[in-house]
Structure 1
Amino acid sequence: MPQPSPSAGIKDVDRRSLVRAYAASLSGTSLEWYDFAVYSAAAALVFPELFFPGGDPLTGALPAFSTYAVGFLSRPVGGVVFGRLGDRIGRKKVLVVTLLLIGVTTFLIGLLPTYASVGVAAPVVLVVLRFAQGVGVGGEWGGAVLLSSEFGDPGRRGLWASAAQVGPAAGNLLANGMLALLAGTLSEGAFLAWGWRVAFLLSAVLIAFGLWIRLKLEDTPVFKAIETHGERPAAPVKEILAHQRRPLAAAILSRLAPDILYALFTVFVVTYGTTELGLTRGQVLAAVLIASGCQLVLIPLAGSLSDLVNRRALYAVAAVLAGLWPFAFFTLARPGGVVTLVVCTVVGLGIHAFMYGPQAAYITEQFSPRLRYAGSSLAYTFAGVIGGALAPLTFTWLLVSTGGWVAPACYVAVSALLTLLGLALGRDPDHAEDRELLAAPPDRVTA
């Protein structure tokens, strides 16, 4: 007997609306992650000298990476505030606010005076702006994932949800490309004096474009159905913490290895390549640039593949590879040159793509439709604190304190084990949740 299509019973969604939703999710997260990534790269390249001056490059990188961590530590604030609002007032309205918040803070960072000009006030204001930037990112991801996936067939959620996952790679590509261009065309003095600011100030143009796309889009069919049936939760965060702790734990743990591996090959690799391998800033940024370009293809490919095979199994295979690859990377990178670094970074971010592509669908599938924004945002932000926030700082500290690469590699391996535990705790998708919600008559009201 033939099995019904996963989309059976779901109202037809205008193809144009689906494409718009995918574009809005992709462009918005790309632009926001451009802002976040340009800060990450600057934390490795210029902030140690301009805002946290010190004698030793690695020592100066520690406080710079601490401000990088602040952007992750503030994410739970955005996850709680905007996650609640996303399930209460809708996905679209919240995503407009998060886009504005990140754009304004990034633009202001580009105008900041340095430590040499105003002293300790410079790093203090930098930390405040970084905190606000993190709040915006904390509320962005959950909504961006739902914006695209709730317009599409739930049976292809891996593909549609990957729109938001491509955003960080595209944003990282734009950010590092801009910084590489500036570093390659300007003298060292000019780049440190004003060149790095250009990448931050350009965010104003990019955010304006993202707002234009998002303002033209309606809210998702799933949220409209929730609203019609009177099923909007009064206290979604409280409900999740009280009744959905296992799904939350599964979602949080699933993010650790991807976050830490990503920090290794996009942030820490810049410091490691310039201070330990003797490569130039331009060479290391080029390696990250090429690898990020490959991710633009690999992430949606992995998301789509996860719709055809068991999503958790695909994710688990990539997590095992994530735990093993850093040992190969550190072994191969030291005697090698720039070509070796490029290949190792491409492989590292390629492994990351096969976790990151299915990740958005996997996390949203742990929660019921009426709690998806809050649940996904909480998982994303708390995992960011445990994983991404501390990763560059931890890598640097482990390298400095042990004098070798074994401890940093073991750090990634432990995160991979925790991610495998999260996958074991999680559940496979239940497409019936969306089908029943969208097919139910409008007069069904749930208290």
Structure 2
Amino acid sequence: MNKHNGNVGRVSASVTRQAPDASVTENVGLRCANPTYGAEFQKTNLGQLITFANGKSCPERFDNAKFAVFGANGLIGKANESNSPSNSIVVGRVGTYCGAVHFSRQACWVTDNAIKATVKEDNDPSYLFYLLKHLNLNNWRSGSGQPLINQSTLNAIEVRVPLPIEQKSIGSFVGALDDRITLLRETNATLEAIAQALFKSWFVDFDPVHAKQQGREPEGMDEATAALFPDSFEESELGLLPRGWMVSNCQKVIDVRDGTHESPKPAFSGYPLITSRHITGGKICFDDTYLIADQDYENISKRSKVHRFDVLITMIGTVGIPVIVLDEQTEFAIKNIGLFKTSATPFLSHYLYLLLSSSKMQQYLEARLAGTTQKYLSLKALREISLLIPPDSVMAVFSEIISPVFEKIHQNNCEAQTLANLRDTLLPRLISGQLRLPEAEILIKETQ
């Protein structure tokens, strides 16, 4: 599917991926030297490159412990002991995540659901980590019931690899892309925490109102903003609230809908269908969506057309995950997803998103789940959410402060996606030797 910076419209399965956005390739950190590529890739097997060993039972875990603990599905906690050195590769050994590959730069503990892998001689751990990911080790699993992969199988897998100096350069090159993606995600987590802190201060703890009630100036705001808050509280159905602020349910303030509950057939060309599993980490992930026909898209859009600044929330599966739609291009359909039509009043979108993300609201939604085998949120439950409604003047100032934060989060998400696309495009060709590192660097420079 063709995607660029998260903007998605009608696409055809025959359309090729666009070139990376030049603006996000700056400062990626192309930090590796350009070796002389005289030698061809050599045929060998993983056992000649890596030492594989099963992990051990998980020790007691502590939140503030020193060493990361890895299971088949990645990081699962921390412990005060380690059983694998720095630059360890971790391979899922059994179960659903059999063949999954993870990497730890620091010493860590690998549990008995995984295999720890350490490189031999001068081979580069980063390169071999990417090689194992590229191999899709789940294809080598055995077992009719519980999927399993063992050391003997891994040792025998035949591969072609370059000399260690070239391995190191490739590993450093791809690692720089991953480091940048990680930094962007960490930055977004910090930005969201800042937004949540302000939301909590103003609309949960009511810090400005308490300050004025006690004769103090509210912290962190100018005189004009402080004047927008009252200096006393009054009783309401939600408890003590700032005087003059209103309480209502969602459907009286916002048009609340949901997407289709049918399963349109996949089409060769058309529009992406977004389900609950495609909303994660504060963004919509289009990577494994399928296309639906134009007519199906039009039928779904009659009820639940998504626009910029609408808020979506998952209703089935992993329930209650919200996201603000910040892309200009919104030509996709939704299934089993709640739709809050805040696009008509954008200042409400940030407020509603932060409310839905808050721990208090997550507990509220959890208590209203229905279903036995598969939990779900009903449209009725979404419409009946109780909302605190501050004056428009307060909401407008809040939105003015918060909007740039969310725009930056959106930009970072787009940059991270472009870098991931770049990595996923170049990695197979670098690993196979079809593309050499100087050529990859030239391709990147041509997009700048």
TM-score by length of 2: 0.27
Q: Greater helix percent: which structure?
A: 1
Larger relative contact order (C-alpha < 8 A, sep ≥ 6)?
Answer: 1
Between Structure 1 and Structure 2, whose CA radius of gyration is higher?
2
